[in-house]
Amino acid sequence: KLGNETAKAELGRAAWKVLHTTFARFPDKPTQDESEALRSYIHLFQRLYPCGDCASHFGELLKKFPPQVSSRSAAAAWGCHVHNQVNKRLKKDMFDCANIGDFYDCGCAKDEKEEKD
Ligand code: FAD
């Protein structure tokens, strides 16, 4: 049982990292196609998330708080908010979303136009 809980927590940490890093790298001014891609990604992420009870709780959250895909800052703030909803349910500390700025840096700066080498 402990093993299962540890695996579930590890999966969760990895999943949140991918999600928040994706939002932190989303365009400031996305095209409609990019916004739709992010919306689909989030809904499919929920649908295919390997922990079944997590996925069904997350599905309820997506109904209550539809993904915000209009910009990088909107997506990042939304991700922080829904993660905090999960934190609250699991009785974990709230994360201060004002501090999300550079927290999720994937080291991919080279991809940015202005830093092309
Ligand atoms: P995590 O919650 O995994 O967070 C990892 C790190 O992210 C933290 O250490 C902190 O640095 C940072 N962080 C914390 N809060 C925020 C925030 N709001 N915004 C940005 N960064 C933040 N587990 C269950 O037992 N039951 C569930 O129903 C469940 N549902 C889940 C649904 C989803 C979609 C996901 C991705 C995970 C779910 N989990 C669930 C796993 C759970 O959320 C945690 O990942 C797991 O319990 C490990 O928690 P942790 O304390 O290590 O930190």
pLDDT in tens, 96-114: 999 898 899 888 876 665 5
What does pTM read for this prediction?
Answer: 0.94
Instruction: Measure 112 CA to ligand 1 centroid, in angstroms.
Output: 28
Q: What share of the chain is helix, strand, coil (3-state, %, to 5)?
A: 70, 0, 30
Whole-angstrom CA distances from 25 to 12, 86, 90 are 20, 22, 27
Are the CB atoms for 50 and 11 separated by under 8 Å? yes
Instruction: Measure 12 CA to ligand 1 centroid, in angstroms.
Output: 5
pLDDT in tens, 1-11: 567 889 999 99
The CB density around residue 109, as the number of other CB atoms within 10 Å, is: 9
- The 3-state DSSP class for residue 39 equals helix
Domains along the chain?
2-115 (1.20.120.310)
- The 3-state DSSP class for residue 70 equals coil
